[in-house]
A and B are shown apart, each in its own frame.
Chain A
Amino acid sequence: MLQFLIRRTFGAFLILVLISAITYFMFFAIPQDPALLACGKNCTPDALAVVHKNLGLDQPVPVQYWHYVVGIVMGRDIQGGHCAAPCLGVSFANGRNVWSTILDRFPLTLSLMVGGAIVFLIVGLGAGMLAAYKKGSLTDKIFSGGSLVLSSLQIYFLGPLVVLALVISTGWLEMPSYTPISENPVAWFSGLVIPWAVMATIFTAQYTRMSRSSMIEQLQEEHVRAARAKGMSAPYVFFRYAWRGSLIPIVTILGIDIGALLGGGIVTEITFNLAGIGRLARDSVIQKDLPMTLGVMLFSSAFILLCNIVVDACYAFIDPRVRLS
């Protein structure tokens, strides 16, 4: 187990280095001076030169990259201030510390992802199992058909419609907004209900299908049929044996989906005007704010990689046959 973790962490670290390098050098391929963003009013050549110096843009790109990497590990001094250890630099656009901006925005994105995932896992797995349990019945057909249509809706289409129907026209729910859970759990919940529901709608279908088919497969496994033959009741077998086995493919898909979920987060945040990591990424890319873009990319890559490692480690708990080696 420990060896597995070390190996995977090392691999993840390597990927992060590559991602950062690719993004960094890619950015300098743009024929636009990144310093313009920080140049301010009356961007005269003199002023521009000062900005170049302040931002360290007067040095060769590889040297800048080296400073950047060193900064992440040990922290560094930028623009007259010290930027502590995981130093992702300072935004060209507004001079804010990238790391603290990300930390500030991340809880929202995490709330969206976790909340959405809980909703779609419960609904998706439940519907899938029910469909599998009553395979071929009307319930099965409704669930399967419904999930297909729902999964074809898009957040940017469904979201505004839901807001129109449930907030603007009727006032039944609250306009999506974000309040930290530590501040006011009720407001946190009521503000995120619509985004969760909309995100979950899109993702649920896949899990319904997945859990339905893997459940059907499980129900045909020898050990399940043996248990059934022994005279155990159907529901008991269903929950005692089949359920557990069907989780493996689902966990796998979930691991892969974390990236997609983060991507779904961007659309959700833009659709509902929520200021999370996704919006931050979009805004900083459009502004060509290199440090912020790079910071968000690295942070979310690291997050995805971490989740993947956790998911892989989870296999061992769900399925004792899997060995992490």
Chain B
Amino acid sequence: MTSPVQTEDTSVPGGNGPDALTKDGAQETKTQEGLSPGQLMWRRFRRDRTGIISACVVIFFFAIALLAPLISKVYGKDPYTLYGQNSLDLLNEFNMPAGSFGGASGSYWFGIEPNLGRDVFTQLLYGMRTSIFTALGATVLIVVVGVLIGLVGGYFGGTIDYWLGRFTDLMLGFPSQLFMIASMPVITAAFVAPDENTPTWLRAGAIIAVVGGLGWMGIARLMRAATLTMREREFVEAAKISGASPWRIIRKELLPNLWSPILVQATLQLPNTVLNVAFLSFVGVGFVEPTPDWGRMFANGADYIQLDPWYMLYPGVAMVIFVVAFNLLGDSVRDAFDPKSGR
């Protein structure tokens, strides 16, 4: 595992990524074309209608997740109040939504949650917020660790590469989903005194660590391969001869040129990570009540499917749209960076 200090280090260029990309990339390609690869990519991407639409959908999801508190304020409900328990006519005698379509109405857009009687719309909003933010964190971790291990292995080669490679193999040999489940309780239990509440941020942190820690291997392999070809290029040789330290070469020479595959991988990785986070909650080791959570809505929804299928429909459809849009976006980004690939 990478030490936090190193992680910090590499994420710095990540923070001002586009600038670094334009600057260095421009230096290299100025003589050939007037446009940086970033600009080229943007041009190509703009022409891709599917890409634009899916990007809009994805942005929409992020916006909803970000603005959930605001939306719920305007909408006038929150995901915690037990509306159905406080009012007598929202739930029927079997604790199921009394109205049709899962109790959907003008004041409860997506209906009422069976049993507890919370508002499904805000539950979903906040649930997506929880899941997407957690997944974002995990994706950053995956990319950072993957890139770092790939770059280091690819650049240094030799013994370092051998051992990093074996380590990657070892991690690939793990039944990762099983291991995720197995390590979740350990991580949460390890940091919390038995008589204290496990704070939600710690749970989120544990999920990020588990999903991230078991998901970086693919990116590491790709990065290693990319670095291997890059390492022999003239500009790297030149930097070496001029006495630049390995860290400087990795940061200033290799990384800027690897941005496009990194970005593509990150885009492809995120929906998978959202699904992994949801998976943990579905099997019962993720977030707990009362934190609204996308994955748990499925676990509960499966129980109510016969009496109230509507409860599962909204989160389900939302997730399908989200994943489809993200996959399409991933394809478009890849095409934009590398027109030869894919279709």
Contact = CB atoms under 8 A, between A and B. Distances in A.
Interface in B171-188: 172-179, 181-186
Nearest to B181: A285
Contacts, number: 124
A263 B178 contact: yes
A300 B189 contact: no
Nearest to A284: B182
B178 A288 contact: no
A161 B175 CA distance: 28
A37 B323 CA distance: 40
A101 interface: no
- Name which of A154, A157, A160 has the most chain B CB atoms within 10 A of its CB: A157
B190 A168 contact: no
A286 B284 contact: yes
Contacts of A300: 175, 178
A15 B178 contact: no
Nearest to A260: B177
B324 interface: yes
A119 interface: no
A278 B177 CA distance: 10
A32 B284 contact: no
B174 A281 contact: no
A282 interface: yes
A166 B172 CA distance: 38
Contacts of B189: 29-32
Interface in A281-306: 281-282, 285-286, 288, 293, 296-297, 300-301, 304-305
A146 B17 CA distance: 35
A315 to B, nearest CB: 17
A125 interface: no
A300 to B, nearest CB: 4
A266 B279 CA distance: 10
A262 B299 CA distance: 19
B277 to A, nearest CB: 12
Given A154-B275, A266-B177, A293-B182, A161 B316 contact: yes
Nearest to A14: B170
A281 B181 contact: yes
B182 A154 contact: no
Nearest to A32: B189
Contacts of B309: 161, 164
Interface of A is mostly: helix
A270 B184 CA distance: 18
A134 to B, nearest CB: 15
- Name which of A12, A23, A32, A260 has the most chain B CB atoms within 10 A of its CB: A23
A153 to B, nearest CB: 6
B319 A157 contact: yes
Interface stretch (B23-31, B136-144, B248-256, B300-308): B300-308
A259 B175 contact: yes
B298 interface: yes
Contacts of B176: 259, 263
A178 to B, nearest CB: 18
B301 A160 contact: yes
Given A156-B298, A168-B306, A304 B324 contact: no
A152 interface: yes
Given A30-B189, A149-B324, A281-B182, A159 B302 contact: yes
B236 interface: no
A282 B179 CA distance: 10
Contact of A282 (B283, B306, B328): B283
A267 B179 contact: no
A305 B319 CA distance: 32
Given A31-B194, A164-B305, A286-B185, A262 B175 contact: yes
A160 B305 contact: yes
A152 B323 CA distance: 6
A98 interface: no
B194 A282 contact: no
A208 B315 CA distance: 27
A271 interface: yes
B282 A270 contact: yes
B278 interface: yes
A164 B275 CA distance: 23
Interface string B306-324: 1001001001100110011
Contact of B282 (A29, A156, A262, A296): A156
Nearest to A144: B343
A168 B306 CA distance: 7
Given A149-B320, A262-B178, 8 more contacts: A26-B182, A30-B186, A266-B178, A271-B302, A281-B181, A285-B182, A297-B179, A304-B173
Interface of B: 169-170, 172-179, 181-186, 189-190, 194, 271, 275, 278-279, 282-285, 298-299, 301-302, 305-306, 309, 312, 315-316, 319-320, 323-324, 327-328, 342
Lowest 9 CB-CB distances: which A-B pairs, in order? A263-B177, A152-B323, A157-B316, A160-B305, A15-B173, A300-B175, A160-B302, A152-B324, A156-B298
26 contacts: A19-B173, A19-B174, A29-B190, A30-B189, A30-B190, A31-B194, A32-B189, A152-B324, A152-B327, A154-B275, A156-B298, A157-B298, A157-B315, A159-B302, A163-B305, A213-B342, A259-B172, A263-B178, A263-B279, A282-B284, A285-B181, A286-B285, A300-B175, A301-B173, A305-B173, A308-B173
Interface of A: 11-12, 15, 18-19, 23, 26-27, 29-32, 148-149, 151-154, 156-157, 159-161, 163-164, 168, 213, 259-260, 262-263, 266-267, 270-271, 278, 281-282, 285-286, 288, 293, 296-297, 300-301, 304-305, 308
